[in-house]
């Protein structure tokens, strides 16, 4: 039974909302929608992978700090907790920091939800399923995750975040939502974050060959960012009730191999694109596709934007930011982003 109806989105109007990671790719789109719905939005972000350029003028305040910082926060009605590096090269660049952010950052937000009674939605990930043995992945699947591999800082960090969040719900009755986000893409992606869509689109535009890892036969299911944000807002708008803390998959169930994705980019670019094969990074999941029955039943949600259309919109966005395509602008001495082969290859 669908518990959501559109009028519930009006519940954000006039409310004070905190978005952690609001200067990032997904977070900034969420901020846009919350502002359009009439919320007063503060963003907490350390700008390690996000950028203040992503923030719309209507943001009330940017709190520039580590999400795990114990410094006090004001009271909010809603906490959307998205802060964490999320692309494999970025989260692997400092795996200890990634794990700390995933776990301690979430505990910090849980304490805030407990202190204030705010509704807390945490961004988890399809990575909790690891290299899945069940396909497609339902929320009830416990996953197949290597605890000591190069992806573990993120996978296990997010799994631990889900664990501690659910225990806060059991012990303190906090108002909790968990979304498991599958591969998402769209405008405002960082062209150097090393993900496959941003890599292919940037490579296509600057005339570099598309880098296919392995033989390109592994699959992913790519969700356009506005579809994802709609699902997040709907889940956040539902009144609390029994089982509301149970994780909800949000993603597009249309599955593509990485070679098929390369062909979609080629069709959108309307010209042949060269490909090069690169070694497959270790623990790279073979297949991934969400079962979205729960989101459909609970929220009446399903993605609306097909891959071709979403890639075309992403190409247009990247074209409009030629400066961002020229060089990796993130500061710091982290290993070169966009090239996971610097760390470990199977």
Give, for 248, the enclosing helix (H) or strand (E). Answer: strand 248-250
Cα–Cα separations (whole angstroms), residue 21 to 26, 49, 153, 207, 284 = 8, 9, 18, 32, 25
Q: What is the DSSP string of 157-224?
A: HHHHHHHHHHHHHHHH--EEEEEEE--EE-TT--TTS--HHHHHHHHHHHTPPEEEETTS--EEE-EE
Q: Which stretch binds ligand UDP (CB under 6 A): 3-11, 163-171, 193-201, 302-310?
A: 193-201
Strand 61-63: give its sheet, edge to edge: 61-63, 40-44, 16-20, 78-81, 119-125, 175-181, 248-250
Contact positions with ligand UDP (CB under 6 A) in 259-298: 280-281, 284
195 binds ligand UDP (CB under 6 A): yes
| CA torsion, ordered 95, 336, 86, 107, to nearest 10 deg | 30
Binding part of the chain for ligand UDP, among 1-9, 110-118, 207-215, 306-314 by CB under 6 A, reads: 207-215
204: contact with ligand UDP by CB under 6 A? no
Residue 104 interacts with ligand UDP (CB under 6 A): yes or no: no
Is the Cβ of residue 20 or residue 183 nearer to ligand UDP in the bound state? 183
Is residue 124 within the footprint of ligand UDP (CB under 6 A)? no
Choice among 12, 91, 154, 185 that is catalytic: 154
- Measured CA to CA, the distance from residue 221 to residue 307 in angstroms comes to 9
Q: Is 49 in the site for ligand UDP (CB under 6 A)?
A: no
Asked whether position 101 contacts ligand UDP by CB under 6 A, the answer is: no
Residue from 119, 180, 220, 337 that binds ligand UDP (CB under 6 A)?
220
The residue (of 105 and 251) whose beta carbon lies closer to ligand UDP is 251
154 is catalytic: yes
Give the integer Cα–Cα distance in Å for 26 and 331.
21
Q: Which residues are catalytic?
A: 154
Residues in contact with ligand UDP by CB under 6 A are 87-88, 183, 195-196, 199, 211-213, 218, 220, 258, 280-281, 284
């Amino acid at each position: 039974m669908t518990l959501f109806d559109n009028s519930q989105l009006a519940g954000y109007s006039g409310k004070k909302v905190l978005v952690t990671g609001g200067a990032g790719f997904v977070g900034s789109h969420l901020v846009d929608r919350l502002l359009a719905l009439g919320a007063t939005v503060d963003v907490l972000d350390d700008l390690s992978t996000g950028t203040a350029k992503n923030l719309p003028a209507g943001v009330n305040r940017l709190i520039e700090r580590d999400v795990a910082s114990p410094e006090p926060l004001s009271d909010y009605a809603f906490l959307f907790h998205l802060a964490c590096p999320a692309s494999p090269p970025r989260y692997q660049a400092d795996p200890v920091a990634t794990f700390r952010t995933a776990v301690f950052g979430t505990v910090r937000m849980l304490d805030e939800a407990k202190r204030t009674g705010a509704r807390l939605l945490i961004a988890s990930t399809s990575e909790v399923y690891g290299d899945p043995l069940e396909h497609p992945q339902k929320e009830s699947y416990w996953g197949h995750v290597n605890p000591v591999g190069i992806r573990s800082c993120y996978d296990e960090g997010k799994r631990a975040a889900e664990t501690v969040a659910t225990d806060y719900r059991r012990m303190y009755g906090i108002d909790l939502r968990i979304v498991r986000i599958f591969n998402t893409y769209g405008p405002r992606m960082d062209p150097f974050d090393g993900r496959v869509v941003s890599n292919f689109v940037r490579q296509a535009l600057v005339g570099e060959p598309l880098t296919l890892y392995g033989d390109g036969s592994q699959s992913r299911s790519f969700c356009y960012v506005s579809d994802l944000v709609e699902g997040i807002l709907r889940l956040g708008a539902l009144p609390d009730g029994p089982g509301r803390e149970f994780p909800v998959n949000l993603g597009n169930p249309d599955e593509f191999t990485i070679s098929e994705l390369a062909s979609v980019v080629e069709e959108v670019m309307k010209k042949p694109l060269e490909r090069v094969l690169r070694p497959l990074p270790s623990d790279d999941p073979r297949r991934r596709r969400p079962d979205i029955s729960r989101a459909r039943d609970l929220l009446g949600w399903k993605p609306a934007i097909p891959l071709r259309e979403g890639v075309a919109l992403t190409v247009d966005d990247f074209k409009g930011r030629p400066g961002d395509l020229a060089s990796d602008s993130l500061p710091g001495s982290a290993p070169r982003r966009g090239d996971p082969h610097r760390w470990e290859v199977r």
